Structure formats: structure tokens, C-alpha cells
């Protein structure tokens, strides 16, 4: 389990380029794994296996997984990628701060960390061999509602993906609130389906606005009751 030691605004952050060239603190097969930074830290840009046709899975934020020590979520991602003919998988996240419980994520977005995460996203999209359209699996479930800034980050990722001809997918049933299914508990033979990510983000933006209004109304009512 990983509990953040501090807000990411209060710790030193390696740029993506620095992290990409960092030195591992544990032995693992660097020809098999891509792991950025190369040692365990308060954030993780990339974790996956190397290949020419990876399935890029997008979660909300990373937990404790690292090379040769995948958690159950990443084991599921690896199985589904292999079943569907991808030669590798990459686990990426909307926000790179490690927190096993997403409620522990930064309350306010760290803009520097987001900018470096987008550089990491461009890097993994560039790994695709010429002529292939990057396959991006949206897989965060309802967790995107944990922070208002998360949907804006996804929209930035959509813009980057367009530059590489990326295609977005979901796996499994869409939730009652319209969110793509989390990888955990999906069967290995689950087949990705094309996902309208832009329409989805518009829907989530509306959900966030309603949530903010609802919260403000509750606060106003509480304040009125105290006054009375």
C-alpha cells in the first residue's frame, strides 16, 4: 500500500527526460520492461513491457506496481492485451502520483507534474511502429470523479493522441454513471470496443459542474442552519 508522504507540490519532481534516463535501484530486465522513473518514488510516469504494438491502458493514478511485481490490476491488463494480440502493454495514468487510495491524491493539480506526464504520454505514443494507430484503453471506472481536475487532464491527453492518430477503447460494461470499466475482474478474453472519449469528457464535465453546485448548496444550507 502506498500513502503519499506529502503533496507532490512539496517534493522534488524529476522531469520526464530526467526520469527516462534515471538509474534503476533494483535489478530487472530493462530489455523487457519500461519503467519511468527507473526506481520507486512518489510518482510513476510509465510501467509496461516493450514492443512495437502495445495496448496502452490509462488508469487514474498508480499504486505500488513495479517491474516483476505487478498488482492484480496490471496482471489483468497484461492478460487482456495478450489475448487481443498486442505484443506488449503499457500502464499509464491520468495523474502520476502514487496513492493506493485515490482519496489521498493531491487536492490541487500539480501543473508541473501534469506537463511532464504529457511528455511521457507523447513518448509512449511515439513507440508505435510506423503506420499503426496507438490503441488507448480508458480504464478508470468511477475514479475520475475523485478530483475535478482529472477530466481536464484527460482532455489534454485527447489532444496529444490526435497528433498520433490514436484510437480510444473501453473494455467491459460501461458503468451506470457512464464511466469505462476498471480492468480488475475483467475476463482475459474481454475485447476492446471503440470508445467516444470526447463525448464522454463532455458528460463528465457536466457531472463535475453539478457536483460542485450540489456541494455549494449543501454548504449554504449548513451555514444557514448554524446561523438560525
Q: What is the pLDDT of residues 169-217, one digit of tens each?
A: 999 999 999 999 999 999 999 999 999 999 999 999 887 776 655 555 5
Residue 2 in domain: no
The strands making up 135-138's β-sheet, listed across from edge to edge, are: 33-36, 46-49, 88-93, 54-59, 135-138, 167-170, 193-194
> What pTM, to 2 d.p., does this model score?
0.90
Residue 44 in domain: yes
What was the pLDDT predicted at 128? 86
* Residue 93: Cβ within 10 Å count: 24
Does 226 score more than 70 pLDDT? no
Residue 15 in domain: yes
What was the pLDDT predicted at 221? 57
pLDDT band, very low/low/confident/very high, at 134 (cuts 50, 70, 90): very high
Residue 222 in domain: yes
Find the farthest-apart pair of alpha carbons in the chain and give their distance in angstroms, rounded.
68
Q: How far apart are CA 66 and CA 16, in angstroms?
A: 17
| CA neighbor of 158 nearest in space, from 131, 125, 127, 190 | 125
The parent domain of residue 114 ranges over: 8-227
| Average pLDDT of the residues in 126-143 | 91
**Number of domains the chain is built from:** 1
Residue 1 in domain: no
pLDDT band, very low/low/confident/very high, at 78 (cuts 50, 70, 90): very high
**Cis amide prior to 37 (ω within 30 degrees):** yes
What was the pLDDT predicted at 178? 94
What was the pLDDT predicted at 154? 97
What was the pLDDT predicted at 213? 57
Residue 89 in domain: yes
Amino acid at each position: 500500500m502506498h500513502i503519499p508522504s506529502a503533496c507532490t507540490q512539496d517534493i522534488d519532481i524529476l522531469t520526464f527526460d530526467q526520469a527516462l534516463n534515471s538509474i534503476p535501484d533494483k535489478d530487472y530486465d530493462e530489455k523487457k520492461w519500461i519503467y519511468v522513473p527507473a526506481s520507486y518514488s512518489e510518482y510513476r510516469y510509465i510501467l509496461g513491457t516493450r514492443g512495437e504494438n502495445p495496448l496502452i491502458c490509462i488508469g487514474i493514478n498508480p499504486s505500488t506496481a513495479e517491474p516483476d511485481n505487478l498488482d492484480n490490476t496490471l496482471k489483468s491488463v497484461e492478460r487482456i492485451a495478450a489475448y487481443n494480440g498486442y505484443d506488449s502493454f503499457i500502464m499509464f495514468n491520468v495523474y502520476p502520483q502514487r496513492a493506493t487510495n485515490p482519496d489521498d491524491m493531491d487536492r490541487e493539480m500539480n501543473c508541473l507534474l501534469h506537463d511532464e506526464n504529457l511528455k511521457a504520454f507523447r513518448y509512449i505514443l511515439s513507440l508505435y511502429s510506423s503506420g499503426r494507430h496507438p490503441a488507448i484503453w480508458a480504464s478508470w471506472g468511477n475514479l475520475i470523479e475523485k478530483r475535478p481536475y482529472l477530466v481536464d487532464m484527460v482532455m489534454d491527453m485527447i489532444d496529444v493522441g490526435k497528433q498520433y492518430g490514436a484510437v480510444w477503447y473501453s473494455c467491459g460494461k460501461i458503468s451506470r454513471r457512464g464511466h469505462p470499466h476498471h480492468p480488475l475482474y475483467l475476463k482475459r478474453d474481454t475485447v476492446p470496443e471503440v470508445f467516444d472519449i470526447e463525448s464522454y469528457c463532455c458528460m463528465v464535465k457536466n457531472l463535475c459542474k453539478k457536483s460542485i453546485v450540489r456541494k455549494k448548496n449543501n454548504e449554504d444550507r449548513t451555514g444557514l442552519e448554524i446561523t438560525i
